[in-house]
Amino acid sequence: MTKKFLIENTKTLFYALIIAILIRSIIIQPFYIPSSSMESNLLVGDRLFVTKFSYGYSKHSFPFSPAIFKGRIMYKPPKRGDVIVFKTPADNRTDYIKRLIGLPGDTVQFIDGDVYLNGNQILKTIKSKNDIINCGNSKIKVTTFSEKLPGGKIYTASYRNDLSYKNSDKFIVPQDHFFFLGDNRDCSKDSRFLSEVGYVHKDNLVGKAQILFFSSDPSIGSIFKFWKWNHIMRFNRFFKKII
């Protein structure tokens, strides 16, 4: 009886593990936000669901990126403005989350602090001035803008009031690659930094960020301190669609 019980339970656990891996690899995967590069849209401590099927599948769709096939199958090109999780080209291991700005063949350039896409300035409108947001362990003052991309995608981006990133050379996005920016423009390692992130190949895409399902403030305390939940939990962010 004991032997049979152990065998049956081992089988159950094995099947459950396989199902969990398949769901995580093919359908949906939870992610944790560890940095402030996407503030104020995504905060440190946010937990979100990423759909794995949005752009098809590559080896990076699976845990530990096994080389089970080359390239990308069932590929569906991402749309400009999508918030995407990808593996950094530097190590093909670390997950980053940024906003897609440049598609293959696009040119992207910063001129006097404004973003130009294919020679045209991305339309931005001031929402508020002197907002305080995080940049690592520091607080910075930013001006918050509403930006509108070609195609109509509207989102929020923040620019530091001092020491803001002003000018760059033209970034020409190669074929099958993408150019990403963080919404916290002056506190983001993204495609502007070619040696650290640079252009991201389509095979490095992991999935599309869809829903923020849970959020807590780790600077206040652990979620296990339930007596502080009224301060730790960001209940207003639960089940919020990611724009």
Give pLDDT tens digits for 111-123.
999 999 999 999 9
List the CATH code of the domain at 2-241: 2.10.109.10
Catalytic residue among 37, 61, 191, 215: 37
Residues paired with residue 102 on neighbouring β-strands, in sequence order: 179
Is the pTM higher than 0.85? The answer reads yes
Give pLDDT tens digits for 129-168.
989 999 999 999 999 999 999 999 999 999 999 888 999 9
Pairing type for strands 205-215 and 83-87 reads: antiparallel
CA separation for the pair 144, 126 (Å, rounded):
6
**pLDDT computed for residue 15 by the predictor:** 67
Question: Is 37 considered catalytic here?
Answer: yes
What average pLDDT does range 6-16 have in this prediction?
Answer: 71
Give pLDDT tens digits for 23-35.
777 889 999 999 9
The residue type of 90 is A
Residues paired with residue 148 on neighbouring β-strands, in sequence order: 123, 154
Tokens of 178: 């993408």
Catalytic residue among 98, 124, 202, 208: 98
Expressed in percent and rounded to 5, the helix, strand and coil fractions of the chain are 15, 40, 45
Among 221, 222, 213, 205, CA closest to 85: 205
**pLDDT computed for residue 59 by the predictor:** 94
**pLDDT computed for residue 23 by the predictor:** 73
Report the share of the chain in percent with pLDDT over 70: 95
Q: Phi first, then psi: what are they for 9, rounded to 5°?
A: -70, -35
Tokens of 105: 């063949």
Residues paired with residue 131 on neighbouring β-strands, in sequence order: 142
**pLDDT computed for residue 224 by the predictor:** 85
CA separation for the pair 96, 84 (Å, rounded):
8
Confidence class for position 185, pLDDT limits 50, 70, 90:
very high
Domain parsing of the chain, residue ranges: 2-241
Tokens of 70: 């080359």
Tokens of 218: 């780790």
Question: Is 98 considered catalytic here?
Answer: yes
13 pLDDT more than 80 = no
